[in-house]
Homo-oligomer: A and B are copies of this chain.
């Protein structure tokens, strides 16, 4: 394990379990790298497992939101919180999934000036309000999403993804987590 993934000196376990090593091998094979966030969590396999279980469910399981939309939410949240790790990793994901490098930059820099569908704008407006002023979310905010075509189950998924990145942004900020350099040049 690289020792400079975060600013925290936490003793890592000596050998990863077979299961975790296999998971990292799959990452290497599919993504060409093991995301640094996984290395950061690997000092404790229970924590690593809890993180990956939640992440994989939210970002990869069936949902009324497609994978690009979930990545757009990830970046819009991370832009509010100015999270270097998540903007880098998920900005790359938006570029890759959309095939549109400028869309990735727009999500990082200011989603409001992107040329989005009404559905996606409503989704990101909700996401950003939920990030900045969660205490002000009221029924009319949910209704705006329904009016844009989302089901209540979709609203749960929008909220859950936005909320998850409000968590990971803060773990990254608190620990000064650094993204893998490879992300920067991808899909430019």
Contact = CB atoms under 8 A, between A and B. Distances in A.
Give the interface residue-count category, chain A. Answer: 35 or more
Contacts of A174: 126, 130, 134, 137, 142, 155-156, 158-159, 162-163
Q: How many chain copies?
A: 6
A85 to B, nearest CB: 9
Nearest to A135: B82
B110 A88 contact: no
Would you call the interface of chain A mostly helix, strand, loop, or mixed? helix
Find the residue from A43, A47, A131, A156 having the highest chain B CB count within 10 A.
A156
Contacts of A54: 50-51, 53-54
Contact of A8 (B10, B156, B184): B156
Interface in A96-145: 101-102, 105-106, 108-110, 112-113, 126, 130-131, 134-139, 142
A110 B158 CA distance: 23
A153 B8 CA distance: 7
A153 B109 contact: no
B184 A102 contact: yes
6 contacts: A50-B54, A83-B135, A130-B170, A142-B176, A156-B175, A163-B174
